[in-house]
Amino acid sequence: MKARNGDGVETLLIRYGLNPRLYSRQFKQLNQKNLRRGNGLITGRTYLLPKAQATRKNASRSAARTTPRRARTTARAVTRLPVSKAPISSAQLFGPRIGTPRAQNGTLRGAVFYLSSGHGGPDPGAIGKYGSFKLAEDEYAYDVTVRLARVLIENGATVYVMVQDPNDGIRDENVLPMDYDEVHYPHRPIPLSQVQRLRQRIAQVNALHARHKGAYQRLLALHVDSRSEGQNIDVFFYHHPNSPTGLRLAKNIHRVFTSRYKRAQPNRPYSGNVSERGTLFEVRNSHAPAVFMELGNIRNQKDQRRFVVADNRQALANWIAEGIIADYRGKK
């Protein structure tokens, strides 16, 4: 695995679903030669990951999960979801300043949205350096997502925010502190392992999807990634190759971004695009047509400006909502 800028042993292990408490020592042994003093990682260098040991309790389960058919069943099964505490209230979700958003018009009446912000809980996602601060992907994706939820609700939609923080709400600060207390809707701990995390999230989405049978339902996954280091990556939209409805929504949102970018930054060509990516877990397994978005690169200085300014985060949410409204209006 290649280390990214800002990675430490812990962040790298967490990203690959390995508990640092169990695997740090083994990792250090495996990678002795490539560690700096104080166990720092060297950006761009390749590291070996310890093999995850199946504990006796889940050995048979994880073995079964490698077969694709079983994986599909898991994503559908409602009963496998762990018990949840009392749901997070919408006043907690949006923060005391905003309170509970109310429908102000019926533009999206009848539409149901599942908003899934990338990572969360024990996994902060990609981490960018901003002066002496660290910017965590999950906090910025989360803030845009909650802002989007608010706009959609105000337009009359039913919205499920799949990752929820009990005390962040909508925040206007530039640097959003990294925390680990996000939970899955309605109030379940977020698993450390990425596979389990996405499986749990999508199982919940699909259970709700069945409840809203017949409605216009869409899943939006929001990320602020760092796939190409140092590069300005604009905004990318992915959909399933077999989902014309997912493609249509992606195109509608992309169209808004293209025109808004032209207006805001006429000298900088916008190079975001829409493409197929059937390998993304959420896109592949969601029963609701899905669009997966990469809103920018948390490690790129120009992209960082898009995220550290609260008004820019609101603009991203507004543009996504605008694209969604266009899509809903144009539905058959």
Q: Nearest distance from residue 113's CB to Zn ion, in Å?
A: 19
**Comparing C-alpha atoms, which of 323, 325, 307 is closest to residue 141?**
307
Are 212 and 113 a contacting pair, CB within 8 Å?
no
> Taking the CB of residue 14, how many other CB atoms lie within 10 A of it?
22
Asked if omega into 189 is within 30° of 0 (cis), the reply is: no
CA dihedral (291, 295, 299, 305) in degrees, to 10, reads -170
The sign of the dihedral angle between the CA atoms of 163, 168, 172, 175 is negative
Task: Give min distance, CB of 214 to Zn ion, in A.
Answer: 32
Which residue, 4 or 147, is less far from Zn ion as judged by CB?
4
Nearer Cβ to Zn ion, position 101 or 118? 118
Question: Judged by CB, which is closer to Zn ion: 120, or 125?
Answer: 125
**Residue 47 or residue 292: which is nearer to Zn ion going by CB?**
292
- Angle at the Cα of 254 from the Cα atoms of 251 and 257, rounded to 5 degrees: 155
Shortest spacing between CB 168 and Zn ion, in angstroms: 18
The least CB distance from residue 240 to Zn ion, in Å, is: 18
Q: Between 183 and 280, whose beta carbon lies closer to Zn ion?
A: 280
Min separation Cβ 294 and Zn ion, Å: 8
Q: Structure tokens of 62?
A: 């994880």
User: What is the rounded CA–CA span in Å between residue 42 and residue 14?
Assistant: 17
Phi/psi zone of residue 14: left (φ > 0), alpha (ψ -120 to 50 degrees), beta?
A: alpha
Nearest approach, Cβ of residue 11 and Zn ion (Å): 13
Count other Cβ atoms within 10 Å, centred on residue 268: 12
Interface with Zn ion by CB under 5 A: which residues?
118, 125, 223, 225
Q: Is 199 helix (H, G, I), strand (E, B) or coil?
A: helix
Residue closer to Zn ion, measured from CB, 125 or 272: 125
